[in-house]
Structure 1
């Protein structure tokens, strides 16, 4: 299974309330191959995606048959050719069916989670992402100009504005920056995937950083990555559980560790207000580990 297919399957597994399920379906339909009164056509290389669309329709009271799925050598296509059904679907999302082009109707978003759900649907329908082991690139494309312009403006209002270009008469919104991809994935509900990407980037940066500075072996690099990951895990746990456990000195070193995951303890000590030695930094991080350990014991009732 490709990284992209796995991500989309994770997105469709997310259970949503009725309004957000409708918004996710709205995103899928908006970026579908065809969305009109005469024909609605949703195409995917993954049967699970097409079956998810049918299930989403059922939750909204539109019963479709799996016999509507047409299998081609490389894809599965859901074809809805009933004008009666299509007119109802269009009306449910605020369209009359006679529009020359469909624009994004924000009245379809009923709660604060509907917008992320809509973007999730857009990506499921027409998005791709490169395996982060090979590089950083995420894109969503369409041939519908007005929809695309609305989409880019919509992303901009959310602080997620993408770069754009045209490829073979298709308009493409994309990110190549790993941080922008992480922000987008987190926003649409794929926080675990975003964290995996972040950890992968940190690991890659660690390798590059260490190899530039010293010619150490892979075992030492793995130790640095592992120690940093454990520190950040403990810090995030304390911040989520009881941040008052961290006094000013510990909070300072905690924030520096989160902001600088790949630097050594010696370098970390140079970033504090009052410069610390390596042992001073180590002492504070050990105190943080003990606090996290005690909080976990309390949470587990031990």
Structure 2
């Protein structure tokens, strides 16, 4: 997804500024050099993101350097460090990005960069490239943006809510996480930031997953109904046999006797199948009523489910 987003170009120059500002807030640090000049370091493990940042920075006449190092931890991923040495041009860039306001640092309130809709989309795209992730749609839906800046985190949450996305925020150790848990919200976010291919892939997997879940629900429901039918039939047969031993079926009213005999002859039949076997026309509810009446008669004779034939 980040490889795709790294190739998305902003609509206007203001979009480049907004996207770079968000990227810098996610993965950038400032350096202080001589004469109070400022420099920039940006670190990422994604080569496409590194190329994106480098291409945006090069719109300004900066002297940049790229350092690639290999991680020593388990994954041993490459780490890309983009360095811009302290200079007056870097200070101008940070002012253009809204990170510096005069001699003061702007903690994360970039309202001046977010006046246009295209800039707001670019800003969110930069935030995802710099510190975002989304889980595979085969599992639980989860998209998050991670930053160590609480003011920047609040800005992202407000921005997502402005797009009518139910963004929530929590903290994890020293980081702040803005996240989405709803599948529709995640697809809307992907559409907003321009990840159209990823959106199609996400939706394809999501549709298959929803259909599989729907089939499982129907199968489970059908299985439960079948088990319920089997349990009822077993119970009915046991009680009818109890009545046969205690009073005899010939003592029953004709309608109940016919129903009892058919149930004994076809213990595995459903109610609808019993209807088709009756000589006289009767409805499914009528058959059900007769079977309940037979069960009530057995219960009135102290049926306990463990009765044995009389010797």
Give the TM-score of the pair, scaled to structure 1: 0.62
TM superposition shift of 1:126: 0.9
Q: Give the direction of change, closer, same or farther, for the CA distance of 1:183–1:106 in structure 2 (3 Å limit).
A: same
TM superposition shift of 1:159: 1.4
TM superposition shift of 1:161: 3.8
The superposition leaves residues 215-269 of structure 1 with CA deviations (integer Å, 9 ceiling, x where unpaired) of 9xxxxxxxxxxxxxxxxxxxxxxxxxxxxxxxxxxxxxxxxxxxxxxxxxxxxxx
The superposition leaves residues 150-173 of structure 1 with CA deviations (integer Å, 9 ceiling, x where unpaired) of 222222222124111111110110
Mapping of 1:110-121 within 5 angstroms? 111-121=116-126
In the alignment, the residues of structure 2 paired with residue 157 and residue 112 of structure 1 have an alpha-carbon distance, to the nearest angstrom, of 10
Match for residue 280 of structure 1?
none
Match for residue 283 of structure 2?
none
Match for residue 80 of structure 2?
76
In the alignment, the residues of structure 2 paired with residue 8 and residue 97 of structure 1 have an alpha-carbon distance, to the nearest angstrom, of 33
In the alignment, the residues of structure 2 paired with residue 132 and residue 97 of structure 1 have an alpha-carbon distance, to the nearest angstrom, of 45
Name which of 32, 35, 43 aligns with 2:27.
32
TM superposition shift of 1:127: 0.8
Give the TM-score of the pair, scaled to structure 2: 0.60
102-111 or 8-17, which moves further after superposition? 102-111
Runs of 4+ in structure 1 deviating by more than 6 angstroms, as ranges, are none
Match for residue 269 of structure 2?
none
167-176 or 187-196, which moves further after superposition? 187-196
Does the CA contact (< 8 Å) of 2:39 and 2:90 recur in 1? Answer: yes
In the alignment, the residues of structure 2 paired with residue 41 and residue 180 of structure 1 have an alpha-carbon distance, to the nearest angstrom, of 33
SS at match of 2:117: coil
TM superposition shift of 1:13: 0.9
Match for residue 89 of structure 1?
93
Q: Alignment length, in residue pairs? A: 207
TM superposition shift of 1:70: 4.3
SS at match of 2:103: coil
TM superposition shift of 1:87: 0.6
TM superposition shift of 1:9: 1.0
CA RMSD after TM alignment: 2.3
Which has the larger Rg? 2
Does the CA contact (< 8 Å) of 2:26 and 2:131 recur in 1? Answer: yes
Does the CA contact (< 8 Å) of 2:143 and 2:181 recur in 1? Answer: yes
Does the CA contact (< 8 Å) of 1:137 and 1:176 recur in 2? Answer: yes
Mapping of 1:254-273 within 5 angstroms? none
The structure carrying a bigger helix percent of its residues is 1
Does the CA contact (< 8 Å) of 2:132 and 2:146 recur in 1? Answer: yes
Q: Give the direction of change, closer, same or farther, for the CA distance of 1:68–1:98 in structure 2 (3 Å limit).
A: farther
SS at match of 2:198: helix
In the alignment, the residues of structure 2 paired with residue 163 and residue 23 of structure 1 have an alpha-carbon distance, to the nearest angstrom, of 22
In the alignment, the residues of structure 2 paired with residue 39 and residue 97 of structure 1 have an alpha-carbon distance, to the nearest angstrom, of 16
Whether 1:202 and 2:207 are equivalent positions in the alignment is yes
Q: Give the direction of change, closer, same or farther, for the CA distance of 1:109–1:101 in structure 2 (3 Å limit).
A: closer
Match for residue 62 of structure 2?
63
Q: Give the direction of change, closer, same or farther, for the CA distance of 1:41–1:161 in structure 2 (3 Å limit).
A: farther
The structure carrying a bigger strand percent of its residues is 2
Structure 2 gap segments, 5+ residues each? 33-37, 72-76, 221-311
